[in-house]
Amino acid sequence: MKTVEEQLSNYKSVHFNKHNITSHFIGIPLIVWAVTVLLSLNTFTLNLAGTTITYTPAIVLLTITLLYYFKLHIKLALAMTLYLAANLYLASLVSAMGSALWIAIATFVLGWIIQFIGHIYEKAKPAFMDDIMGLIIGPLFLMAEVYFALGLEKKLDKDITPMAIEKRRLIERSKS
């Protein structure tokens, strides 16, 4: 399994342009929320020892994702827990609406449009095109960027930035 430094530097290697990063702070939350809504449209129940547990595919997927985040970096995962819990709550409010499917689809498409516009500024393809894990790392990357902006996790920032620059150089060299 790749370390958090490897994952974040790989992702950052195609996310240096400020317009691209800004687009990701809009697009990724829209996409995550839309997927959460879509996966909250169906509920399931499980009876264990007389206790009924109701859950959605969103809860299952986000729990697995959080476990992975905790394995990568506990401090980032703690903040991601709060973010994803809020996402689940907001998704649950919309998923009960009759138009939830269409709202989620429209939000998902809008999020991706914003993402791809950002990559026009970056002049680099999205990270997930070379490594599907980019889809999972994107939200964690944004949380790391928030931490860095707040002056937190300075060592992590110092570790990933040179690695990302080197990866970007390799990408640029392979193009020519």
**Residue 162 lies in domain:** 4-175
Please classify residue 51 by burial: count the beta carbons closer than 10 Å to its beta carbon, then call 0-12 exposed, 13-18 middle and 19+ buried. exposed
Mean pLDDT confidence for 50-73: 93
**What percent of the chain clears pLDDT 70, i.e. is strictly above it?**
99
Q: What is the pLDDT of residues 84-111, one digit of tens each?
A: 999 999 999 998 888 999 999 999 999 9
Does residue 44 register a pLDDT over 90? no
Is a pLDDT exceeding 90 seen at residue 127?
no
Residue 176 has what pLDDT?
66
Q: What is the dihedral of CA 110, 115, 118, 120, to 10 degrees?
A: -100
- Residue 133: which pLDDT band, with cuts at 50, 70 and 90? confident
The per-residue pLDDT for 154 is 95
Residues in the chain: 176
- How high is the mean pLDDT of the chain? 91
Split at pLDDT 50, 70, 90, the class of 167 is: confident
Give the model's pLDDT for residue 98. Answer: 83
Q: Give me the number of domains the chain comprises.
A: 1
Lowest-pLDDT range of 71-80, 108-117, 150-159, 167-176:
167-176
At 176 the three-state DSSP class reads coil
Query: Tell me, what DSSP letter sits at residue 128?
Result: G
Work out the average pLDDT over 12-39.
93
Partners of 46 in beta bridges: 53
- Across 20-42, b (16+ Cβ under 10 Å) vs e yields bbebbeebbbbbbbbbbbbbbbe
Task: Evaluate whether 112 touches 27 at the Cβ level (below 8 Å).
Answer: yes
